C-alpha cells in the first residue's frame, strides 16, 4: 500500500468503548480499545456518567496504544475523524473535544462523522471497496437501522429503524430474564446453540402486511419472552433456558434478515452489509448468509472485532471523506446525540 495515501486518526466515544484507530487509505493499521463495560455490568446497562468518566481517563493512553501498534507518530497523521453523533451526549463530547484538540495541535483537518455510516465504512478495511449502492443493516445495543447507501461519503438514506428497543437491547433484557450476564448477546448466542429454535413460537414484530416494511420492533418480543418465563416460574416448572434463548434469537434473526433481504430486492440492490455488535451473533450471520445466497445477494459482514464500536471504523469513514474531497468540519463542531443518518459528516 502506497505511503502517499492519507493517514487518518479516528476517535469513537459514543457509548462505553473508547476506540482509537489508525487507517491509511483502506488499510487498517491499528485499532486500540478501552472499555468500561465491566463497570456497567452490575447495573445491567451502560451508565452514561460512568462511561464519560472512563473515556476521559482512557483517552491519552489509548491514543498512544494506537500510534504504537501502527508504528507511526503524531507527525505522520494527515487528518482526524471523530464520531460526532448519534450517541450519548456526555460520552460523545469527550471524543469530540479530544479530536478537536489533536487536530488543532497537529494542524490537520477534522471530520465529525456519523457513527452509523462508520459502521458501514469499516467493512472496507476487510472486504475492499463497498459496492454502491449497498443496503446496510446496523444492529447493536444502541441502534437498529436499515439504510440505502448510494454513496458512503455523502449520500446515506434511512429506510427504517427500530420503533422501540434496539436489537441488542432486546438481547440484554432477555438475558436478564434468563439470569444470563450483561451484555446479553454473547451468552444468549452460546445458550441458544443447545436449544431448539422452534420449541416456542415468539412473535415477529412489524411483519404484518400493513406494517412499515423496514421498521423494527423488539419490545413486544421481549415482553412475550418475559411473560413466558414468568408463567413457567409461577407454575413452579424449570425454565428451559437454551430453548427460550434459541427461540428468542430465532425471532430476532428471522425479522432482521427477512427485512434486509426485502430491502435489497425492492431497491434492486445486490449487496448487503451487516454491522453493529449484534452482527457478531452466529445465528444472524448464518441465516443472513443462507437467505442472501438464495436471493443472489452478496453478503458482507466485518469480523466480530470490527462489528462492535471501535476507532478504526471512524478512521475508515474519515479516509473515505478525505478521498472524496468532502469539506472538513467547521471549528465549532459539537456533538449531536440524535444526528440523522443522512448527515454522513458535519
Partner 1 sequence: MLVLALDTATPTLVVGLAATGPDGRVLAEAALASGTRHAELLTPTVTAVLAEAGVTLTDVGALVVGLGPGPYTGLRVGIVTAAALGDALGLPVHGVCSLDAVGSGARVVVTDARRKEVHWRAYDDAGAPTTEPGVGRPEDLELPDLPLVGDVRFAERLGRDVTPAEVSTAGLLRAVQPLLEAPPEPLVPLYLRRPDAVPNVVRKPVTR
Please report, as ranges, the residues that interact with partner 1 according to CB under 8 A.
Answer: 42-45, 47, 49-50, 52-53, 55-56, 59-60, 63-64, 74, 89-90, 93-94, 96-102, 104-106, 176-177, 179, 223, 226-227, 230, 331-335
Q: Which does 53 bind (CB under 5 to 8 A by kind): Zn ion, partner 1, none?
A: partner 1
Location of C-alpha cell 473508547: 18
Location of C-alpha cell 434463548: 245
Q: Are 150 and 162 in contact (CB under 8 A)?
A: no
DSSP β-ladder status, 134-139 and 110-114: unpaired
Would you say 178 or 264 has its CB closer to partner 1? 178
Q: Which does 59 bind (CB under 5 to 8 A by kind): partner 1, Zn ion, none?
A: partner 1
* 48-70 and 89-106 helices, crossing angle to 10°: 30
Would you say 64 or 198 has its CB closer to partner 1? 64
Would you say 178 or 260 has its CB closer to partner 1? 178
* Residue from 140, 217, 310, 319 in contact with Zn ion (CB under 5 A): 140
Q: Which does 186 bind (CB under 5 to 8 A by kind): Zn ion, partner 1, none?
A: none
Q: Nearest approach, Cβ of 193 to partner 1 (angstroms)?
A: 24
309 binds Zn ion (CB under 5 A): yes
Q: Are 106 and 74 in contact (CB under 8 A)?
A: yes
- The residue among 159, 104, 79 whose CA lies nearest residue 345 is 79
Q: Are 86 and 338 in contact (CB under 8 A)?
A: yes
Q: What angle do CA 128, 296, 149 make, to 5 degrees?
A: 50
Would you say 58 or 118 has its CB closer to Zn ion? 118
Would you say 55 or 300 has its CB closer to partner 1? 55
Q: Nearest approach, Cβ of 232 to partner 1 (angstroms)?
A: 12
Q: Nearest approach, Cβ of 327 to partner 1 (angstroms)?
A: 17
- The residue among 250, 258, 249 whose CA lies nearest residue 295 is 258
Q: Nearest approach, Cβ of 55 to partner 1 (angstroms)?
A: 8
Name the CA radius of gyration of the chain, rounded: 20
- The residue among 192, 143, 149, 188 whose CA lies nearest residue 169 is 143
Q: Are 19 and 312 in contact (CB under 8 A)?
A: yes
Q: Which does 150 bind (CB under 5 to 8 A by kind): partner 1, Zn ion, none?
A: none
Would you say 55 or 283 has its CB closer to partner 1? 55
Q: Which does 43 bind (CB under 5 to 8 A by kind): partner 1, Zn ion, none?
A: partner 1
336 binds Zn ion (CB under 5 A): no
Would you say 177 or 307 has its CB closer to partner 1? 177
149/162 Cα distance (integer angstroms): 18
- The residue among 294, 283, 230 whose CA lies nearest residue 252 is 283
Q: Which residues bind Zn ion (CB under 5 A)?
A: 140, 309
Amino acid at each position: 500500500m502506497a505511503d502517499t495515501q492519507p493517514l487518518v486518526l479516528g476517535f469513537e466515544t459514543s457509548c462505553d468503548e473508547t476506540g482509537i484507530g489508525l487507517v491509511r487509505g483502506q488499510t487498517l493499521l491499528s485499532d486500540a480499545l478501552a472499555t468500561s463495560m465491566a463497570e456497567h455490568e452490575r447495573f445491567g446497562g451502560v451508565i452514561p456518567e460512568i462511561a464519560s468518566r472512563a473515556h476521559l481517563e482512557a483517552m491519552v493512553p489509548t491514543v498512544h496504544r494506537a500510534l504504537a501498534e501502527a508504528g507511526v507518530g503524531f507527525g505522520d497523521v494527515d487528518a482526524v475523524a471523530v464520531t460526532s453523533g448519534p450517541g450519548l451526549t456526555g460520552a460523545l463530547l469527550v471524543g469530540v473535544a479530544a479530536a478537536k484538540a489533536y487536530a488543532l495541535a497537529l494542524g490537520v483537518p477534522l471530520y465529525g462523522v456519523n457513527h452509523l455510516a462508520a459502521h458501514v465504512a469499516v467493512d472496507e478495511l476487510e472486504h475492499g471497496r463497498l459496492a454502491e449502492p449497498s443496503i446496510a443493516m446496523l444492529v447493536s445495543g444502541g441502534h437498529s437501522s436499515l439504510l440505502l447507501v448510494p454513496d458512503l461519503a455523502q449520500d446515506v438514506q434511512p429506510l427504517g429503524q427500530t420503533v422501540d428497543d434496539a436489537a441488542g437491547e432486546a438481547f440484554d433484557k432477555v438475558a436478564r430474564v434468563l439470569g444470563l450476564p450483561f451484555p446479553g448477546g454473547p451468552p444468549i448466542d452460546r445458550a441458544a446453540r443447545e436449544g431448539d429454535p422452534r420449541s416456542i413460537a415468539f412473535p415477529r414484530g412489524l411483519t404484518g402486511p400493513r406494517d412499515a416494511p423496514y421498521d423494527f420492533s423488539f419490545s413486544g418480543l421481549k415482553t412475550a419472552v418475559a411473560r413466558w418465563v414468568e408463567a413457567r416460574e409461577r407454575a413452579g416448572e424449570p425454565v428451559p433456558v437454551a430453548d427460550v434463548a434459541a427461540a428468542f434469537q430465532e425471532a430476532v434473526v428471522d425479522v432482521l434478515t427477512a427485512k434486509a433481504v426485502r430491502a435489497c430486492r425492492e431497491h434492486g440492490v445486490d449487496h448487503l452489509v451487516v454491522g453493529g455488535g449484534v452482527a457478531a451473533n452466529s445465528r444472524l450471520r448464518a441465516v443472513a448468509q443462507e437467505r442472501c445466497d438464495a436471493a443472489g445477494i452478496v453478503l458482507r459482514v466485518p469480523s466480530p472485532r470490527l462489528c462492535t464500536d471501535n476507532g478504526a471504523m471512524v478512521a475508515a469513514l474519515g479516509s473515505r471523506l478525505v478521498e472524496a474531497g468532502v469539506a472538513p468540519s467547521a471549528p465549532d463542531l459539537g456533538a449531536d446525540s440524535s444526528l440523522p443518518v443522512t448527515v454522513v459528516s458535519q
